[in-house]
Chain A
Amino acid sequence: MSEITKLNDPEKELIAPGHRSCAGCGAIIAIREMLRATGKNVVICEATGCMEVTTTPYPETSWKVPWIHVLFENAASVASGVREALDKKGRKDVTVIALGGDGGTVDIGFRAMSGAMERGHNILYICYDNEAYMNTGVQRSGATPFGASTTTSPAGKVSFGKSEWKKNVPMIAVAHGLKYVATASIAYPEDFQNKIKKALTFKGGKYIHVHAPCPVGWGFESSKTIKVAKAAVETGMWALYEVENGNFKLTMKPNRKPVKEYLTGQKRFKQLKDEQISEIQEHIDRTWKELEKLESSDVNLLSIL
């Protein structure tokens, strides 16, 4: 209990209160949890997005660690330059993190992320995934889930919302030959932080994709962020796993609840009919069957590259 009290002391956090994030913002929770794991000896290279805008309204900043933002789509390339410059200065001890939202990672920043991972710079890429372009007002991204209504994939008379499935970037990260890739959720802070700490024990590129619900964009009460994040994991909508040295391991094996429990209560899914809900449920069942097969097999994902 005393440990928890200590963690909640705002003075000890490396992200200061007073930032302009919305009430119940999942992304700022992800950042707070991230910084608890990295500690002070870190440089954060962040993409344009909600977290950049809300934490650095000039002349104020919420960051108590060195932080740089340049553009939307180049967090990973900026991090490449920062890493090599620090190494040249003999500061190999400093952790370098490239941080982007889902738009800044899976879409517009994808080339930069892929390039940096392929080159093997000693950096950790963290994607906070709130499943749409929230900073510009909830537009569809490659990470928006099937069935979600956004302002550019709206539900309408002849549409139920986004008709494509979520792009699987953690697995694409694995395909770069990274020694450590993981998914995480803000509802499981200990798991997220342990994964960051573990990632940082590996030299080279590492990738963590953290699920971070957005009350405004998803349409739920701001007091329910953690509950929604937890429901994503408990229904199997968001799988928590890690791929360490090519070995796939599910780090959470929930007794999966029906996905309907996750979908109801979020405005972005309210238009879905039983037909689409069944389709999502079948997709989850099929995916999990394969993930469980993968885990129980001795397939090494790095060996097939």
Chain B
Amino acid sequence: MKTVMEGSNAVAHAIRLCKPEVMAMFPITPSTHIPENLAQMVADGDLDAKLITVESEFSAMSATVGASATGVRAFTATSSQGLALMHEVVYAAAGMRLPIVTTIVNRALSAPINIWNDQQDTISERDSGWLQIYCETNQEAVDTMIQAYKIAEDKRVLLPVFVCMDGFILSHTYEPVDIPEQKDVDEFLPPYKPEHAFLDPDKPMTMGPFAYPKPYAAMRKELSKDVMKAKAVVKEVHDEFAKKFGRSYGNGIIEEYKNDRPIAIVAMGSVCGTIKEVVDKRDDVGLVRVRCYRPFPKEELAKALKDKENVIVFEKNVALGLNSGAMYPEIKDVLYSAGSKARVNNVIGGIGGIDVTKENVENFIERLKDKEGVVEFLGGDPNE
């Protein structure tokens, strides 16, 4: 049954259904409603979890790591500066192979300080070893939360996952969502049983040791391979979810929308809803939505894009010093490796919460459809 509720509240219900045992939380706009909702659930006895109200996001991720290393299902959520403050722990969590799930309510990074949406925060953690899944709707955020623990805890993965949802645009927006039944989630997501690494005096174990160059390099190499291998599990869990709950998101890795046309827009997150409306009104443009950004879906994107005349990569981040978005060179790499002749262009938009309208999308398609190698920045004109 669908209920109209705020995105953060919907996600909090999804987290409750996953039965985390320890949650370490710190407030930051726009993710704050998630810890508020969870705290109320604990206060009302609707969620039997230990809530640690830490003194910083740095400690939020640190306590989450401690809990996960003790062998329980652990959760935290944050945005922007909070994620930047966690950065050091983010890398450690992946290196320690801990199956943590973290909701990121995407927001711009300072300076200047800005509380609104773009995706600079998670893009800046792209090389950390965490899986990153970007959601288009609140329903997808709910469903992806439930999938994320199953992916993270899979023995073939044992890696942490960021579930990314756009700040305000999703987190503070009321939409009809279907919150699954506890019984169904329990069948889909069994309790977490750590098998090889957890802190227990009955089985003493050293976690997080010091490594000399050779074992360090070996572990990083293995980690790099395993992050790539996780893609198959992301897809498998998505498909299993679709079968049980009747909802799917492309093939779980990318979503192709009317992608039988000469031009393709590549994008991530909530802006894809706007782009789909523009695509519906045209006959020359389709959309390829990247859902699973890390591991990066090279094969899927090559297949979806290699025969295009023009690929327009739309991104809510800026790779400063490269003068493009971070995904633009990645898409070029995919196309080059596939021997594609497609022209590639880049649009940086929605930065710091600037609205991306259907008119914006129409206009950049018109401007770029015959171009090659153009990088545009939507908004940001000081005279606007």
A-B contact pairs, 17 of them (CB 8 A): A43-B199, A56-B208, A58-B210, A58-B215, A66-B201, A66-B205, A66-B206, A70-B92, A71-B89, A74-B58, A77-B24, A81-B64, A81-B70, A84-B50, A84-B52, A111-B59, A112-B62
How far is the CB of A164 from the nearest CB of chain B, in Å?
25
Contacting pair B56 A115 (CB below 8 A)? yes
Contacts of B21 in A (CB 8 A): 85, 88-89
Interface residues of B in 61-100 (CB under 8 A from A): 62-72, 74, 88-89, 92, 96
Contacts of B207 in A (CB 8 A): 66-69
Known: A53-B210, A68-B207. A81 touches B52 (CB 8 A): yes
How far is the CB of A284 from the nearest CB of chain B, in Å?
34
A74 and B57 alpha carbons, distance in the complex (Å): 11
* Contact digits for A78-102, partner B, Cβ 8 Å, 1 yes 0 no: 1111111111110100100000000
| Chain B residue with Cβ nearest A98 | B66
Contacts of B54 in A (CB 8 A): 77, 80, 115, 119
Shortest Cβ-Cβ A-B pairs, 4 listed: A81-B66, A115-B55, A77-B62, A81-B63
A116 and B62 alpha carbons, distance in the complex (Å): 11
A76 and B67 alpha carbons, distance in the complex (Å): 12
A65, A71, A85, A116: the one contacting B22 at CB < 8 Å is A85
Contacting pair A112 B59 (CB below 8 A)? yes
Which chain A residues have a beta carbon within 8 Å of chain B's beta carbons?
A: 40-43, 45, 52-53, 56-59, 61, 63-71, 73-74, 76-89, 91, 94, 111-112, 114-116, 118-119
How far is the CB of B55 from the nearest CB of chain A, in Å?
3
Contacts of A52 in B (CB 8 A): 210
Which chain B residues have a beta carbon within 8 Å of chain A's beta carbons?
A: 21-22, 24, 49-50, 52-56, 58-59, 62-72, 74, 88-89, 92, 96, 199-201, 203-212, 215
Contacting pair A86 B52 (CB below 8 A)? no
How far is the CB of A70 from the nearest CB of chain B, in Å?
5
Residue of A82, A94, A118, A119 with most chain B CB atoms under a 10 A cut-off: A82
Contacting pair A40 B92 (CB below 8 A)? no
Contacting pair A63 B206 (CB below 8 A)? yes
Contacting pair A71 B62 (CB below 8 A)? yes
Contacting pair A80 B66 (CB below 8 A)? yes
Residue of B21, B68, B70, B211 with most chain A CB atoms under a 10 A cut-off: B70
Contacting pair A89 B89 (CB below 8 A)? no
Contacts of B68 in A (CB 8 A): 81, 85
| Chain A residue with Cβ nearest B20 | A88
Contacts of A40 in B (CB 8 A): 201, 204
Contacts of B212 in A (CB 8 A): 57-58
Contacts of B22 in A (CB 8 A): 81, 84-85, 88
Known: A88-B21, A89-B71, A115-B59. A82 touches B206 (CB 8 A): no
Residue of B49, B62, B65 with most chain A CB atoms under a 10 A cut-off: B62
Contacting pair B201 A43 (CB below 8 A)? yes
How far is the CB of B205 from the nearest CB of chain A, in Å?
6
A56, A59, A82: the one contacting B70 at CB < 8 Å is A82
Contacting pair A56 B206 (CB below 8 A)? yes
Contacts of A43 in B (CB 8 A): 70, 199, 201
Known: A42-B201, A64-B204, A80-B24. A70 touches B52 (CB 8 A): no
Contacts of A91 in B (CB 8 A): 200
Known: A43-B199, A81-B65. A89 touches B209 (CB 8 A): no
Residue of B22, B63, B68, B96 with most chain A CB atoms under a 10 A cut-off: B63
Assuming A70-B96, A85-B74, what are 4 further A-B pairs, CB within 8 angstroms?
A66-B200, A78-B63, A85-B70, A112-B58
Contacting pair B88 A88 (CB below 8 A)? no
Contacting pair A114 B65 (CB below 8 A)? no
| Chain A residue with Cβ nearest B219 | A58
Contacting pair B201 A94 (CB below 8 A)? yes
Residue of A40, A52, A70 with most chain B CB atoms under a 10 A cut-off: A70
Known: A70-B62, A78-B62. A86 touches B209 (CB 8 A): no
Contacting pair A111 B56 (CB below 8 A)? yes
A56 and B206 alpha carbons, distance in the complex (Å): 8
Contacting pair B65 A70 (CB below 8 A)? yes
B50, B59, B200: the one contacting A74 at CB < 8 Å is B59
Contacting pair A84 B67 (CB below 8 A)? yes
Contacts of A58 in B (CB 8 A): 209-212, 215
Contacts of B200 in A (CB 8 A): 66, 91
Contacts of A53 in B (CB 8 A): 210
Known: A59-B215, A80-B52, A119-B53. A45 touches B204 (CB 8 A): no
Contacting pair B66 A45 (CB below 8 A)? yes
A187 and B206 alpha carbons, distance in the complex (Å): 28
Contacts of A45 in B (CB 8 A): 66
How far is the CB of B50 from the nearest CB of chain A, in Å?
4
How far is the CB of A66 from the nearest CB of chain B, in Å?
4
B74, B88, B92, B208: the one contacting A81 at CB < 8 Å is B74
How far is the CB of A97 from the nearest CB of chain B, in Å?
12
| Chain B residue with Cβ nearest A79 | B66
Known: A40-B201, A85-B22. A77 touches B210 (CB 8 A): no
| Chain B residue with Cβ nearest A73 | B58
Contacts of B96 in A (CB 8 A): 70
| Chain A residue with Cβ nearest B198 | A66
Contacting pair B204 A66 (CB below 8 A)? yes
A31 and B50 alpha carbons, distance in the complex (Å): 30
Contacts of B89 in A (CB 8 A): 70-71, 74
Contacting pair A77 B71 (CB below 8 A)? no
How far is the CB of A37 from the nearest CB of chain B, in Å?
15
Contacts of A111 in B (CB 8 A): 55-56, 58-59
Known: A85-B21, A89-B72, A115-B59. A69 touches B208 (CB 8 A): yes
Known: A57-B212, A81-B52, A85-B74. A66 touches B58 (CB 8 A): no
Contacting pair B59 A82 (CB below 8 A)? no
A73 and B92 alpha carbons, distance in the complex (Å): 13
A300 and B109 alpha carbons, distance in the complex (Å): 46
Known: A53-B210, A56-B209. A85 touches B65 (CB 8 A): no
B55, B62, B64, B70: the one contacting A89 at CB < 8 Å is B70
